[in-house]
Structure 1
Amino acid sequence: MSRTFVYARVSTEDQTTSNQRIEAEARGYKVPDNRFISEVVSGGVAAMARPEFVSLVNHKLETGDTLVVTKIDRLGRDNIDVQTTIKSLMAQGIKVVSLDLPSNDLSSAEGQLVLQMFTAFAEFEKSRIAERTQAGLERAKAEGKKLGRPEAVETTKKVQELKAGGFSQSKVAERLGVTVITVKRHWNKIV
């Protein structure tokens, strides 16, 4: 008895997996609610570190089943992780289908080739984004812009006032509702 599961993933709570369900159903993969696995987790998190995906693999999928994703990046953005995940599923006798690839069946030889090409491109794009981010940070530094979290001048002022009033670091932390570590950071700063 082979069954079909759909794994849908979004990165943030303000996103929804409903479009992924609609897309899977439009392509002929209408599954009952207990076989539509939905998760909110970054694509940068390894597949086997995602609670819902781990539960799916370890407790639901069986030999002969099919796992459907609407896009390969639903499994992840890291080339090696995606390929390792798919190979592991295939070794368990689970067919993996990605609806965004020309060869949907990633278990076939053609599917493996397409998978390697697409995941390599995804990895390349991820690296390019990191390069552009780094270049932007370097440009901002060169322009004299201060990077990082803004100074907590108001906190420094309050800490200094209470310090001048003879309060200990722990009492200042208690009064301001902050940690002692935060107080220590502002203890010797000059306003």
Structure 2
Amino acid sequence: MNTATTGRIFAYCRVSTIEQDTENQILAIRSRGYDVQPHRVISETVSGSTPAMQRKAFRTLVDHKLEAGDTLVALKLDRLGRDNIDIQKTIEMLTERGVHVVSLDLPVQNLSSAEGKLMLQMFSAFAEFERNRIRERTQEGLARARAEGKRLGRPEATATTAKVKQCREQGLSQSKTATALGLGIATVKRHWNK
């Protein structure tokens, strides 16, 4: 850990889906020697494809909490932006405000040093390359599945259809079926005559 900083330490943790949580990120940051107070851990669930300053919790952190001399710690570089350009802009903006930025997946702690900037550019480029490769592999897999005649998309909700039909057979209207099953009216209409 870089002990040269004198300000407060904040941690920014992000996950993409509500099925995930940020607890492992927080534990990893603390295990690396960053004593982050619970009220200075900023966590949010937002897609990694959303630019950093369009993320509600991150923007609040930058606009209302971070001050010159503070340190912002993230477990991985990709938490700080959507892509290489966004990460570069975010770190540059924070550095200009006097905030020390640390990404624990980089061997160089000070991202405003010459070595830090070089490391940042390299890791950002690798991260973006990997995201592009994942996207390409996904598209290749979808094309292969289509060529094999496989049905793509969400599976049929046969249980929902059965429940909607049962309510219809009992004489319930579509709106009463929606209420009874806790479904939206559009979902009930979609399954009504299947």
Unaligned runs of 5+ residues in structure 2 are none
1:138 matched residue in structure 2: 143
Say which is worse superposed, 111-120 or 49-58, in terms of deviation: 49-58
1:20 aligns with 2:25: no
1:66 matched residue in structure 2: 71
CA pair 110-36 structure 1, distance change in 2 beyond 3 A: same
Aligned residues: 184
1-structure distance, mates of 2:36, 2:160: 54
2-structure distance, mates of 1:123, 1:171: 49
Say which is worse superposed, 30-39 or 148-157, in terms of deviation: 30-39
TM-score, normalised relative to structure 1: 0.76
- Root-mean-square deviation over aligned CA pairs: 3.0
* SS, match of residue 131 in structure 1: helix
- Mapping for residues 79-98 of structure 1, pairs under 5 Å: 79-98=84-103
2:157 matched residue in structure 1: 152
Deviation at 1:79, TM superposition (A): 1.4
1:5 aligns with 2:14: no
1-structure distance, mates of 2:113, 2:164: 65
- 1:38–1:52: 8 Å Cα contact kept in structure 2? yes
- 2:71–2:100: 8 Å Cα contact kept in structure 1? yes
Which residue identity lines up with residue 19 of structure 1 in the other structure? A
2-structure distance, mates of 1:171, 1:4: 55
The runs of at least 4 aligned residues of structure 1 exceeding 4 Å deviation read: 160-167
2:131 matched residue in structure 1: 126
Unaligned runs of 5+ residues in structure 1 are none
* SS, match of residue 186 in structure 2: helix
Identity level (%): 52
Give CA-to-partner distance per residue, 1:42-91, whole Å, 9 cap, x none: 56043334454334322332223333334323324521221111011112
- 2:8–2:69: 8 Å Cα contact kept in structure 1? no
